[in-house]
A and B are shown apart, each in its own frame.
Chain A
Amino acid sequence: MGATGSAVSRVPGADEIQKETGFSSAHIYRLYDRFQVLDKDDNGVLSRRDLQSIGELAVNPLGDRIIDAFFPNGVETIDFRSFVRILAHFRPTEENRQREPNASEPLNSRNSKLKFAFQLYDQDKDGKISRAELLQVLRMMVGVEVTDEQLESIADRTIQEADLDGDGTISFEEFKKSLEKVNIEQKMSIRFLR
């Protein structure tokens, strides 16, 4: 591997991607290489199965949720651009960089990072994490030793803790609020993508 070919043109639409995501061109090359490795049938798009074949993901409790996040709105395949766009959520945030007031929110902002996490929970996309949805994720993340009663009590308490308007679900605002003390910029960033 390694980005030996330094021609920007090798990567389709590299300029726009760079502009949109803030990745440097070196990053784009590297990610493009990775994209091609993942793209088993060389058709320029990734399918669910391409991602599913990453071994480590199968042992990641949220692996499939994350794969789902790469295929929003029921699309079957994604191109390189969408692929990078998702990954851009995990670029570290530059706190001191001034951004133009009218520019759209960058993909790696705190808000975007939180949104990404939120939608992993919110499967039916109604903007709320219901008790059932929370339970699903909980069940994915804990071992079988934990009984459902325990899990339910945890889920209930989690909801109680975050639920400010008392509707028994966690909205995105409430989600954000419950994590306001957490350094999301740091927790949801990968140094290598810097």
Chain B
Amino acid sequence: MERALSILYFVVLLNATLAGASDSSKPDGHGSDSSGGHNSHDSGHGEGHSPDGLQIVSFKWHHVEAPYIIAVWILVASLAKIVFHMSHKVTNVVPESALLIFLGLLLGGVVWGADHSASFTLTPTIFFFYLLPPIVLDAGYFMPNRLFFGNLGTILMYAVIGTVWNAALTGLSLYGVFLTGIMGPLQAGLLDFLLFGSLIAAVDPVAVLAVFEEVHVNDVLFIIVFGESLLNDAVTVVLYNVFDSFVAIGGENVTGVDCVKGIVSFFVVSIGGTLIGIIFALLLSFVTRFTKHVRIIEPGFVFIISYLSYLTSEMLSLSAILAITFAGVCCQKYVNANINEQSVTTVRYTMKMLASGSETIVFMFLGISAVDPNIWTWNTAFILLTLVFISVYRVIGVVIQTWLLNRYRMVQLEIIDQVVMSYGGLRGAVAFALVALLDPEKVKERNLFVSTTIIVVYFTVIFQGLTIKPLVSWLKVKRSEHRDPLLNEKLHGRAFDHILSAIEDISGQIGHNYMRDKWAKFERRFLSKLLMRRSAQKSRDQILNVFHELNIKDAISYVAEGERRGSLAFIRSASTDQLVNVDFSTQRPSIVDASVSALLRGNPSSVCLDMQAIEEKRKSVRDKEDTLSHHVLQQYLYKPRHQTRHKYSRHAITPNTEDNKQEKEIFRRTMKKRLESFKSTKLGVNYSKKSIKNYKKDCMPRKVNPEYSDIEEAHEHEVAHQDIGISFIASATRQALAETYNGIDNPTFISDENVMVRPAIPPWLSNEDTVVPSQRARVQIPWSPNNFRRLTPLRLSTRSVDSFQMADGPVPEHPRMTLPEGTHL
């Protein structure tokens, strides 16, 4: 640790000396580093124009100065991060942001010592143009949308009303105290105080992210504080601009019209910024639809277009943070669906890297910037009172708003949550950059404001950041755990979603998901079609891939482990840490047989015995298997009606065509089962036994083990003979269904041409009535064009043709097609 620090110190010294040697009036670079300044050296490479003739080596510091210094700073900040993380003891207690500020102070001291001028400060230009966008884009792009939109009302309330409340009360209170004279003489009026209040009121996204990411409070709490810090930008920008211009024109000249303008501009700025973000998100999604052939630069589009949204919005003086946030939020789904997997990974890592790097630099420069005696103006009363007011008003604001919100929220915000929310109101670099933007000509007490802001930022980031962890654990705030959900949780979780959805239907409530439902429909119908690549192809590929890999995996584990043990009971339990042995001995052979043959028959084109692939798979059978199961679940679990998006399913985008299919599939199943149960109760056959068998049947035929399904069929015939009267058709059809799966291993493979072969619809099918099902009608499987499609090919191809025709014969009347009332197909 010490050694590392000393190395760092050396780097810093070197850097500082170099900087000192250079023209020190030059600010940190970016802002003014046009190439113009270095023209005399630009001829560079190769031929020099020096009078001494050709020099083999020449020292051209000025040629590289600006970018060099920037690069060194970034390196220093990154090295510092490495150092911090060498010792977990330190980082466990002290948040990284605080450490970086300390480092910045140290470095600032060094620079000051070497140079006696503050050459490097966090200038608003650099901050707003280069450092802030990556952080906010990262936040938006990885925003857990469901959580975010689920709590949007709450977030907006805190962001808008809370910020206005804080700004107004802080400004007014400070002004009130100023009038009593405690602060001594200041050249500031009410508007100056309000301006200060407005810039100091906003919770800062960078600071919140930095501190809360380490604290791991529960998701809801995090999203509320974090969402607030993102969305309050619009309010801050407007308040800041309004008061800034009021200060400029002078308090006495402010008219009512100006105030109205201010309010209007709030809506314009916030809604405008959001719209810009959405427009660019659409553009980005649309562009990524076509980047298939330029895979290498694919990830670049995400960054460039998002950044353009930020700049555009800045250009139109709208809320740039809102714009880039919403660009990220809106595009993530489509972009992830459109670009290929490597690009997704690239985007993710690049974004994280940029964001994390920017954050590091921001905090470091917050430290460095403070080392400049020229900006410091100390006013104890003002600084202390500011700290007191922002803390107190934050608490009061949170309590009042939470009290209001809790009347409408399902997830109540408890007292503990409120404490954390109040305490998590960290101020940061946005406030600092805004205060640095102030014009000393207009705002006479600029330096006091700057000093106070620095103190406030330090106080919140260092002191509150340091204490929030102990506070959270002391209060036993529900923590979030970052782990992959267990299979059980995923599975049952989806079941819960379905249950809720059903209960909402039964109780006839329009749940709080109503809007989301509407949106999802719209999204499915229009947006996805426009913005996603033709996903039908894609989904088919994925199905085949998973299918393929699972089969190969089965075969490999079968061979590899089977040779070793001579038994087949191990396959899944061997490598698990759980010591459960699941007995596969009876079924295993048939499964392997099934999968191999299915592979060969069902999917001739993708049969691939690529040895290398197999070799690779052998290495990580277990991992693969787990991933695949998760993947399969992710991909194919029926989506509950409302919740098309799940927090963790960034990759699983179900193509829109799935939805209709899903409904029809479920509908067909449901009807089949109802039919079964009706039949069995009618005939007094043991219900539960029967229904279980029925389920089995639903699954079994798809196993392409001829023997097994034959048995099943035989059994079926038996049953059919027992209750030959009513259920004759039913059993025949069911058999027919079974046959479908037998003949064709996977219904996905039924091509549409098959359907076209025989478009003729039996006469009784065309009679579509939606009456309450009569008893007779219930006996018949409800037909819809969709399941008819499924059935058609088998009638052409298999034995069941006979039985089907026979079944058709004895029906005296044409059973009517039944659909439950109000079914939307």
> Which A residues are closer than 8 A to B by beta carbons?
31, 33-34, 37-38, 40, 49, 51-64, 66, 70, 87, 90, 92, 95-96, 116-117, 120-121, 123-124, 132, 135-154, 156-163, 166, 168, 175, 178-179, 181-182, 184, 186-194
Instruction: Specify which chain B residues have a CB less than 8 angstroms from the CB of A144 in the assembled complex.
Output: 665, 702, 746-748
Q: How many residues of B contact A (CB 8 A)?
A: 94
A156, B582: Cβ atoms under 8 Å?
yes
Instruction: Specify which chain B residues have a CB less than 8 angstroms from the CB of A54 in the assembled complex.
Output: 505-506, 820, 822
Chain B interface SS verdict (over half) = helix
Instruction: Specify which chain B residues have a CB less than 8 angstroms from the CB of A139 in the assembled complex.
Output: 695, 698-699
CB distance from A166 to the nearest CB of B (A): 5
A66, B632: Cβ atoms under 8 Å?
no
A149, B554: Cβ atoms under 8 Å?
yes
CB distance from A140 to the nearest CB of B (A): 7
Instruction: Specify which chain B residues have a CB less than 8 angstroms from the CB of A156 in the assembled complex.
Output: 572, 582
A60, B641: Cβ atoms under 8 Å?
yes
Query: Assuming A145-B636, A154-B632, A157-B572, is B491 touching A138 (CB within 8 A)?
Result: yes
A153, B625: Cβ atoms under 8 Å?
yes
A147, B547: Cβ atoms under 8 Å?
yes
B508, A61: Cβ atoms under 8 Å?
no
Query: Assuming A40-B772, A142-B638, A190-B511, is B487 touching A58 (CB within 8 A)?
Result: no
Instruction: Specify which chain B residues have a CB less than 8 angstroms from the CB of A116 in the assembled complex.
Output: 499
Instruction: Specify which chain B residues have a CB less than 8 angstroms from the CB of A161 in the assembled complex.
Output: 486-488, 578
Total cross-chain contacts (CB, 8 A):
249
Query: Assuming A117-B495, A190-B507, is B481 touching A64 (CB within 8 A)?
Result: no
> Which B residues are closer than 8 A to A by beta carbons?
410-412, 414, 481, 486-489, 491-512, 543, 546-547, 550-551, 554, 572-573, 576, 578-580, 582-583, 587, 591, 594-595, 598, 625-626, 628-629, 632-633, 636-638, 640-641, 658, 661-663, 665-667, 669-671, 673-674, 688, 691-692, 695-696, 698-700, 702-703, 746-748, 772-773, 820-825
Instruction: Specify which chain B residues have a CB less than 8 angstroms from the CB of A63 in the assembled complex.
Output: 502, 666, 670
CB distance from A149 to the nearest CB of B (A): 5
Instruction: Specify which chain A residues have a CB less than 8 angstroms from the CB of B499 in the assembled complex.
Output: 62, 66, 116-117, 120, 188
A selection of 26 A-B contacts at a CB cut-off of 8 Å is: A34-B507, A53-B821, A54-B505, A55-B820, A56-B502, A59-B663, A59-B824, A66-B499, A136-B692, A137-B495, A138-B491, A141-B638, A142-B633, A142-B636, A143-B638, A144-B665, A145-B543, A147-B702, A149-B594, A153-B550, A157-B487, A163-B580, A179-B492, A188-B500, A192-B504, A192-B511
Instruction: Specify which chain B residues have a CB less than 8 angstroms from the CB of A147 in the assembled complex.
Output: 547, 550, 595, 598, 702, 746
Q: Nearest 8 CB-CB pairs, A to B?
A: A55-B822, A55-B823, A191-B410, A34-B508, A178-B488, A192-B509, A59-B663, A56-B505
Instruction: Specify which chain B residues have a CB less than 8 angstroms from the CB of A146 in the assembled complex.
Output: 632, 636
Query: Assuming A143-B661, A145-B746, A160-B572, is B410 touching A194 (CB within 8 A)?
Result: yes
Instruction: Specify which chain B residues have a CB less than 8 angstroms from the CB of A136 in the assembled complex.
Output: 692, 695
How many Å lie between the Cα of A143 and that of B702 in the bound state? 13
Query: Assuming A149-B595, A161-B488, is B578 touching A58 (CB within 8 A)?
Result: no
CB distance from B146 to the nearest CB of A (A): 12
B509 (CB) vs chain A CBs: closest residue = A192
Instruction: Specify which chain B residues have a CB less than 8 angstroms from the CB of A190 in the assembled complex.
Output: 500, 503-504, 507, 509, 511
B218 (CB) vs chain A CBs: closest residue = A183
A142, B641: Cβ atoms under 8 Å?
no
How many Å lie between the Cα of A175 and that of B632 in the bound state? 22
How many Å lie between the Cα of A24 and that of B641 in the bound state? 28
B503, A66: Cβ atoms under 8 Å?
yes
20 more contacts with CB within 8 A, not counting A135-B695, A143-B636, are A51-B506, A56-B823, A58-B667, A59-B670, A60-B498, A60-B505, A132-B695, A136-B692, A142-B637, A145-B636, A145-B746, A149-B595, A150-B547, A156-B582, A158-B488, A160-B580, A161-B487, A179-B492, A188-B500, A192-B509
B579, A166: Cβ atoms under 8 Å?
yes
B496, A64: Cβ atoms under 8 Å?
no
A87, B503: Cβ atoms under 8 Å?
yes
B489, A181: Cβ atoms under 8 Å?
yes
How many Å lie between the Cα of A132 and that of B502 in the bound state? 24
Instruction: Specify which chain B residues have a CB less than 8 angstroms from the CB of A145 in the assembled complex.
Output: 543, 636, 746, 748
B638, A179: Cβ atoms under 8 Å?
no
B631 (CB) vs chain A CBs: closest residue = A150
A182 (CB) vs chain B CBs: closest residue = B489
B673 (CB) vs chain A CBs: closest residue = A64
CB distance from B734 to the nearest CB of A (A): 16
B410, A189: Cβ atoms under 8 Å?
yes
Query: Assuming A55-B821, A179-B489, A190-B507, is B699 touching A148 (CB within 8 A)?
Result: yes
B822, A61: Cβ atoms under 8 Å?
no
Query: Assuming A58-B671, A62-B499, A168-B582, is B488 touching A179 (CB within 8 A)?
Result: yes
A37 (CB) vs chain B CBs: closest residue = B508
Instruction: Specify which chain A residues have a CB less than 8 angstroms from the CB of B509 in the assembled complex.
Output: 190, 192-193
How many Å lie between the Cα of A161 and that of B485 in the bound state? 12
Q: Of A49, A59, A123, A163, which one neighbours B667 at CB under 8 angstroms?
A: A59
A95, B820: Cβ atoms under 8 Å?
no
A46 (CB) vs chain B CBs: closest residue = B506
How many Å lie between the Cα of A171 and that of B821 in the bound state? 38
CB distance from A3 to the nearest CB of B (A): 12
How many Å lie between the Cα of A30 and that of B494 in the bound state? 28
Instruction: Specify which chain B residues have a CB less than 8 angstroms from the CB of A120 in the assembled complex.
Output: 495, 499
B410, A92: Cβ atoms under 8 Å?
yes
Instruction: Specify which chain A residues have a CB less than 8 angstroms from the CB of B663 in the assembled complex.
Output: 59
CB distance from B511 to the nearest CB of A (A): 5
Instruction: Specify which chain A residues have a CB less than 8 angstroms from the CB of B505 in the assembled complex.
Output: 54, 56-57, 60
Instruction: Specify which chain A residues have a CB less than 8 angstroms from the CB of B547 in the assembled complex.
Output: 147, 150
A187, B486: Cβ atoms under 8 Å?
no
CB distance from A146 to the nearest CB of B (A): 5
How many Å lie between the Cα of A163 and that of B411 in the bound state? 31
CB distance from A167 to the nearest CB of B (A): 9
How many Å lie between the Cα of A16 and that of B493 in the bound state? 33
Instruction: Specify which chain B residues have a CB less than 8 angstroms from the CB of A148 in the assembled complex.
Output: 594, 699-700, 702-703
Instruction: Specify which chain B residues have a CB less than 8 angstroms from the CB of A191 in the assembled complex.
Output: 410, 511-512
How many Å lie between the Cα of A33 and that of B507 in the bound state? 10
A157, B674: Cβ atoms under 8 Å?
no
B580, B661, B696: residue with the most chain A Cβ atoms closer than 10 Å: B580
Instruction: Specify which chain A residues have a CB less than 8 angstroms from the CB of B512 in the assembled complex.
Output: 191-192
CB distance from B677 to the nearest CB of A (A): 8
A151 (CB) vs chain B CBs: closest residue = B699
How many Å lie between the Cα of A70 and that of B507 in the bound state? 12
Q: Of B583, B632, B700, B825, which one neighbours A150 at CB under 8 angstroms?
A: B632
